[in-house]
Amino acid sequence: MNFILRWLRNLLIFFFGSTLMMVVAYKFVPVYLTPLMLWRCVEQMADGEFPQISHRWVPLDQISHHVPQAVMASEDQLFLQHSGFDFKQIHQARLDALNGKRERGASTISQQTAKNVFLWHGHSWIRKGLEAYFTFLIEKIWGKERIMEVYLNSIEMGKGIYGVEAVAKLHFNTSAAKLTKKQSALIAASLPNPRVRNSANPTSYMLRRSTQIMRQMNNIEQFPSTQDQD
């Protein structure tokens, strides 16, 4: 019994120590590869395709300020106010599910970043618990600017496309720094399902959604506030 308790204690010490070190490291080191990227490569090979990853890390100050505004307007309008979790949206999503309405996500940008960088995709309670744990850590250790920087560099934005620099180049033949308000809104409109919704070839729904996002962007403060206006 004592052996089992010592083993569990050492396992917990290793888990908390290693995960804390990883989060601290990623506060300073660019995230070049994520579990999602690897998983998509496996899926591509299973489909008989050659695995492809289009990704290039760029600092937040080399990303147009329209992009953070667009993703906040679309994905998480309280990003700058909450501490990682939007409990109101979580409660509303739960009520909608209980009432038989279409399932919708309630994950904040912080939660999505924690999931993309540290975890596998799925819906198990274990993964959701780890997501909450990593979300808490990055909110406390990284801060909002680093969370947004990692989010915009690691999120899936098309088939084999990860990060805003790659999608700017492949879909709009420009750089992340030069993305316009309209282009940023189209990218944000694709994010719920970027492998189906193509920001370079938007459907009528995406065009309507991007127009809504552009209107909502007028109510979102520029982020980071020190970045120069276009």
DSSP track, 172-216: HSS-GGG--HHHHHHHHHHTTSTTTS-TTS--HHHHHHHHHHHHH
As a dihedral over the C-alpha atoms of residue 8, residue 9, residue 11, residue 13, rounded to 10 degrees, the angle is 160
Q: Are 56 and 37 in contact (CB under 8 A)?
A: no
Q: What is the pLDDT of residue 79?
A: 95
pLDDT tens for each residue of the chain, 230 residues long: 787 878 888 888 999 999 999 999 999 999 999 999 999 999 999 988 998 899 999 999 999 999 999 999 999 999 999 988 877 766 555 655 556 555 545 689 999 999 999 998 777 888 889 999 999 999 999 999 999 999 999 999 999 999 999 999 999 999 999 999 999 999 999 998 999 999 999 999 999 999 999 999 999 888 887 555 44
Q: Are 64 and 147 in contact (CB under 8 A)?
A: no
Q: What is the pLDDT of residue 9?
A: 81
Which amino acid does the sequence have at 218?
N
pTM over 0.75: yes
Sheet holding 156-158, edge to edge: 54-55, 161-162, 156-158
CATH fold of 56-217: Penicillin binding protein transpeptidase fold (1.10.3810)
Which amino acid does the sequence have at 170?
L
Q: What is the pLDDT of residue 90?
A: 63
Q: Are 179 and 66 in contact (CB under 8 A)?
A: yes
Structure tokens at 115: 């999931």
The ranges assigned to domains in the chain are 56-217
